Structure 1
């Protein structure tokens, strides 16, 4: 398996690539090429082109959740030839906002089912569990078992002219089997990275070897970060590639770790498993 970061807030050694607030991975297995998230806009596709990623070779397109920094680049990939089905959780196209007092800012994906239908694109929904192919799965409907993993109140939905707290019921992750355990790919982990991993472990009953993606720990204090890493070690996780919304403090604390292998996956960086 090979995981390549197509878009991230930072870039690696390939300095011709663009870095912006967003996330996109290409996951290559022996069977398939999977585009997981799409960045915020055109830059993610531009990076993919420079990384020699052909749209005709993508078998699955996965949207982890409907925020712009993960979904907004999808129309650009479609414009450049991406035609495979789009897999998302339920509610991917809802009106998502960040709200601070009277002011609200639209954070949604910027397209909808009608836009997809007009272009003949297939949309498939993962309602908790979906097997893409043997050894590759999508998981959602995460159990909220760790009470300290709370979603910031500023994240809201606009429904029927009213504001509602966004529970991120649309968020999904990808799980891939491996000889040494499972690998989990996450987008932003709004429901909580431990809630996600606990749900995955309960569903499959297998060890989790590695976790890659965003954790939304950028607003967490040092104590919560250390508790999170300790619980991950208790689960058997040995390799971490956190990026995007994970925060500088998490990186600093991981640099002190002796039991967890870790790296930052900036745009253009890849890892072989």
Structure 2
């Protein structure tokens, strides 16, 4: 199994804007640039998710000194608009053909009907043809894939802890028989980065499949301890008991730090901050994590 010598994560999109760099834009969404250095000293860059608005990602990348043209691959956590809406603009910024790794369900209809709120399309807001014309070469997989040295797209997540998979209440899709059906969001996945002499960094996009399940599966796929878990945890609707159960899974896995944002939720972030103390961080646009083994 390949390992990176060094890893750096830069959050190009999150629900909050940072203050270390003036002019950064926030948006409801997530996008993370993953940069790893291999044993030969070569740098590889992967973009995980593309937020809701690509223009803001391009803007933030410029302010942060990130060259989107150097991105070697794009990985998608799932098909919701706040993680795929910026894809077309990002592809145009990259300016060449690039692999886009996603689950086979990425183009399935995503419908949200809950109470008096009806949204018939909360999925990827472009056709496959539009994206391919802009440079996307889709790799649609259910199984894990190493997309850069030490960088693993996790594929369809084993839901070892089904009670800790929040899903999305009111989520529907269209079955192969043309019937409206509950959407299990099997496409929801994460990324794991293995750093030599450190362990694994795990990133959740929205974690509808459960961040406990994503971290657990990352440990299984990589054989490494997930020491740092970051991204969107989608605990916004979880009870305090379920949040504490997730933390217990984290502790059993060896998770030492949690850096959260996007859809994690204020209650969950307060509990995580209390439980992890100095090991807790709140992410924002412009936030960066650097790990050297």
Question: TM-score scaled by structure 2?
Answer: 0.87
Separation in structure 2 between the aligned mates of residue 265 and residue 259 of structure 1, nearest angstrom: 15
Q: Residue 23 of structure 1 is aligned with which of 18, 25, 30?
A: 30
Alignment coverage as a number of residue pairs:
273
CA distance in 2, matches of 1:85, 1:205: 26
After superposition, what is the alpha-carbon deviation per residue over 1:22-62, rounded to whole angstroms, capped at 9, x for unaligned? 00011111131111111101222222222222222111111
Q: Map of 1:91-170 to 2, 5 A cutoff?
A: 91-101=105-115, 103-105=117-119, 106-149=121-164, 150-159=166-175, 161-170=178-187
Pick closer, same or farther for the CA change 1:3–1:133 going to 2, 3 Å: closer
Alignment of 1:189-228 (within 5 A): 189-228=207-246
C-alpha distance in structure 2 between counterparts of 1:80 and 1:184, whole Å: 26
Paired residues of 1:126 and 1:138 also in contact (CA < 8 A): no
**Residues in 1 aligned to 2:277 and 2:143: alpha-carbon distance in whole angstroms:** 32
Residue deviations 1:79-133 (CA, integer Å, cap 9, x gap): 2234321111111111112112575312111112221333343111232211213
Post-superposition offset of 1:247: 0.6
Question: Which structure's residues are more often helix, by fraction?
Answer: 2
Q: Residues 165-216 of structure 1, C-alpha deviation per residue, up to 9 Å, x if partnerless?
A: 1111212211111122111111011111111122222233321111111110
Q: Which moved more, 1:111-120 or 1:49-58?
A: 111-120
Tell me which moved more, 152-161 or 189-198: 152-161
Task: Give the unaligned 5+ runs of structure 2.
Answer: 1-6, 38-42
Q: Over aligned residues, Cα RMSD in angstroms? A: 1.8
